[in-house]
């Protein structure tokens, strides 16, 4: 929702009701928006010109509203410029209710609905009618080629504001043309699939080296890659289904799964990814993987070797970032690929009817995973900040204006999490109301140096370079060390320190566990030049 739309529709009485119902804080930020959103952009123009019908409302002299359905060929509603809409008024039942209403009150409201995509756009403005005889050139501009209905006049609407409304309760419906378009690829695939059946059956009965390559990992949960989507130039999503057809283990919003990857050198490791799909999608998990060319190789391996039909033997799902139960409102703050667990949370909150706003900071819209899907699902409950458009998130203001019982969930780069934590402290928000999950480790420091690590049980002494984790060095030395998230969130890699003083940099262990001599070797290092570990 834009400021222009809320300024008009959020009357004093409406605002009083919002206050009484506890939703006023959710919309308060609209009053501070610099962009009024009272001019149509490319997205609005494309959507409007794809419509073949809409609903319009006018008000008569008695104060009663009149809602009318308007239909015609696709694109009959024209965007004449960023502030002006126009359409030809075809001869109908000659009641002239809308035409008459506009003689005394020029206010008009339109609702445009794309049922297939579950998207709707609301527009308010001021309308005037132009009789066909008075401006033939305008009538010709609005005429639809090949459509012979008689045009009596033109409706010209000056846009005052608009709102992309949430898709809740929009039942998907499809035109005959849309159904034909959607099923055409399926018909085209049938022939190819029939030709492949014999080859696939033969490969299944006689496993080859190639077939063996279609299986990866040794975890207890076998999942098959059933879908792959390129979300952005660097982010690819993978849909995972049960390999044996049995129901998947149930999950809650914030859950993650450890998947197998082939690391540089050929070793099989694991990488943890949040499950982005709505938890009620019991038949599939969806993960999104951002390729990090300067990383340790896990995301590169996923992009290189994961393909349709491949079976992954994964760990069972876990959850270190669970959404709380109850009815408290939620403030969701995501940065980049950190959107993945918060997407699942937003779906759950929406399903439960809980109040929430999802704030999403990205480099650009082209690099924002799931952006269109989120906009369609959550409407004004999604606020997007794009660095390339100089739209910055004011974290201090968000936290300062959070309600007293609002819970804050954030996932993203270290600088975002640190900013949220600092803003929460400044706003006097208790620590237990702020929950976060990192998607990458950013614990390296300029002062880091090479350290010597002695492994007591393995009788090995290994050198850990300043730019390498103890965990990676231990595993490279051939010593089995449990691990999962690799960013200090889960505690799976925690070991006992026999000698030396650890420099703790994790978020998983408690101060008591640190005091007892436990450390997470995926991110933590040594205060001195050496450590001895119980490995």
Helix H or strand E encompassing 154: strand 151-165
pLDDT in tens, 379-403: 999 999 999 999 999 999 999 999 8
Q: How would you label 452-489 residue by residue, b for 16+ Cβ within 10 Å and e otherwise?
A: ebbbeebeeebebeeeebbbbbbbebeeebebbbbbbb
Beta strands 84-90 and 434-438 are unpaired
- Residues 149-171: what's their mean pLDDT? 88
Distance CA 165, CA 171 (A): 14
- Structure-token match 């409406």, residue found: 14
Per-residue pLDDT at 1: 66
Residue 403: how many CB atoms within 10 A of its CB? 15
Beta partners for 88? Answer: 154
Residue 203 predicted with pLDDT over 80: no
3-state class (DSSP) for residue 30: helix
pLDDT in tens, 243-288: 998 999 999 999 999 999 987 777 788 888 999 999 887 789 999 9
Per-residue pLDDT at 208: 46
Which of 143, 127, 119, 15 is closest to 66 using CA atoms? 127
Distance CA 145, CA 142 (A): 9
Residue 452 predicted with pLDDT over 70: yes
- pTM for this prediction: 0.55
Tell which wins on pLDDT, 77 or 477: 77
Per-residue pLDDT at 207: 45
Which of 317, 306, 320 is closest to 247 using CA atoms? 317
3-state class (DSSP) for residue 185: helix
Residue 202 predicted with pLDDT over 80: no
Beta partners for 332? Answer: 358, 409
Domains of the chain: 38-165 (2.30.110.10), 209-314 (2.40.30.10), 330-438 (3.40.50.80), 451-533 (3.10.20.30)
Per-residue pLDDT at 285: 95
Is the CB of residue 377 less than 8 Å from the CB of residue 349? no
Tell which wins on pLDDT, 282 or 38: 38
Distance CA 75, CA 84 (A): 15
DSSP per-residue string spanning 48-100? HHT-SEEEEEEE-TTS-EEEEEEE-STT-SEEEETTEEEEEEE--SS--HHHH
Percent of residues, the chain, with pLDDT higher than 70? 95
Burial (CB count within 10 angstroms: exposed 0-12, middle 13-18, buried 19+), residue 91 = exposed
Per-residue pLDDT at 267: 75
Burial (CB count within 10 angstroms: exposed 0-12, middle 13-18, buried 19+), residue 248 = middle
Quickly state the pLDDT bin for 212 (edges 50, 70, 90): very low
Per-residue pLDDT at 479: 87
- Residues 217-242: what's their mean pLDDT? 94
Quickly state the pLDDT bin for 174 (edges 50, 70, 90): confident
Which residues, 6+ apart, have CB-to-CB distance to 23 below 8 Å? 355
Q: What count of residues does the chain have? A: 535
Quickly state the pLDDT bin for 179 (edges 50, 70, 90): confident
Tell which wins on pLDDT, 180 or 232: 232
- Residues 431-456: what's their mean pLDDT? 83
Per-residue pLDDT at 297: 72
Residue 56: φ, ψ to 5°: -130, 150
What the block records as the tokens of 231 is 């979300």
CA gyration radius for the chain? 29
Beta partners for 129? Answer: 155
Which residues, 6+ apart, have CB-to-CB distance to 482 below 8 Å? 492, 493
Quickly state the pLDDT bin for 211 (edges 50, 70, 90): very low
pLDDT in tens, 355-369: 999 999 999 999 999
Beta strands 78-81 and 84-90 are antiparallel
Tell which wins on pLDDT, 173 or 358: 358
What the block records as the tokens of 337 is 């690929």
Lowest mean pLDDT among 34-48, 88-102, 437-451: 437-451
pLDDT in tens, 299-356: 899 999 999 999 999 999 999 899 998 889 999 999 999 999 999 999 999 999 999 9
Residue 213 predicted with pLDDT over 60: no
Q: What is the mean pLDDT of the chain?
A: 88
Is the CB of residue 258 less than 8 Å from the CB of residue 272? yes
């Amino acid at each position: 929702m834009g400021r222009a739309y809320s300024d008009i529709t959020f009357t004093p009485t409406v605002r009083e009701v919002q206050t009484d119902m506890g939703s006023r804080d959710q919309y308060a930020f609209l009053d501070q928006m610099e962009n009024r959103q009272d001019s149509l952009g490319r997205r609005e123009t494309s959507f409007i010109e794809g419509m073949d019908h809409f609903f319009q409302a006018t008000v008569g002299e008695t104060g009663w509203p009149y809602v009318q359905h308007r239909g015609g060929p696709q694109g009959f509603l024209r965007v004449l410029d960023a502030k002006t809409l126009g359409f030809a008024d075809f001869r109908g039942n000659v009641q002239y209710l809308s035409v008459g209403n506009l003689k005394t009150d020029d206010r008009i409201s339109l609702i445009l609905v794309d049922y297939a995509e579950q998207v709707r756009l609301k527009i308010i403005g001021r309308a005037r009618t132009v009789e066909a005889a008075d401006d033939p050139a305008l009538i010709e501009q609005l005429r639809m080629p090949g459509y012979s209905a008689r045009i009596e006049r033109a409706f010209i609407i000056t846009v005052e504001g608009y709102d992309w409304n949430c898709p809740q309760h929009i039942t998907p419906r499809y035109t005959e043309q849309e159904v034909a378009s959607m099923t055409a690829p399926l018909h085209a695939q049938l022939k190819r699939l029939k030709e492949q059946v014999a080859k696939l059956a033969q490969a299944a009965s006689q496993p080859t080296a190639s077939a063996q390559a279609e299986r990866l990992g040794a975890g207890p949960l076998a999942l098959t890659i059933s879908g792959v989507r390129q979300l952005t130039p660097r982010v690819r999503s993978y849909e995972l289904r049960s390999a044996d057809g049995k129901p998947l283990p149930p999950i809650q919003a914030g859950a993650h799964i450890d998947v197998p990857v082939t690391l540089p050198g050929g070793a099989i490791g694991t990488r943890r990814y949040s499950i982005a799909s709505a938890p009620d999608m019991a038949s599939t998990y969806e993960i999104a993987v951002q390729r990090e060319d300067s990383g340790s190789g896990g995301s590169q391996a996923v992009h290189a070797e994961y393909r349709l039909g491949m079976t992954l033997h994964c760990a069972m799902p876990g959850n270190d970032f669970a959404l709380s139960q109850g009815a408290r409102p939620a403030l969701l703050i995501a940065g980049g690929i950190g959107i993945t667990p918060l997407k699942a949370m937003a779906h759950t909150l929406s399903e439960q009817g809980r109040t929430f706003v999802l704030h999403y900071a990205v480099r650009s819209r082209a690099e924002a995973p799931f952006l269109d899907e989120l906009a369609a699902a959550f409407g004004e409950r999604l606020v997007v900040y794009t660095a390339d458009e100089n739209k910055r998130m004011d974290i201090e203001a968000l936290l300062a204006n959070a309600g007293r019982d609002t819970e804050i969930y954030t996932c993203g780069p270290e600088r975002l999490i640190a900013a949220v934590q600092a803003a929460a402290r400044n706003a006097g928000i208790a620590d237990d109301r702020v929950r976060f999950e990192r998607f990458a480790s950013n614990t390296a420091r300029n002062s880091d140096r090479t350290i010597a690590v002695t492994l007591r049980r393995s009788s090995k002494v290994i050198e850990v370079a300043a730019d390498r984790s103890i965990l990676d060095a231990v595993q490279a030395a051939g010593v089995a060390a449990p691990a999962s998230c690799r960013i200090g969130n889960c505690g799976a890699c925690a070991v006992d320190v026999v000698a030396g003083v650890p420099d703790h940099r994790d978020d998983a262990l408690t101060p008591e566990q640190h005091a007892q001599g436990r450390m997470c070797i995926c991110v933590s290092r040594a205060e001195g030049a050496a450590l001895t570990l119980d490995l």
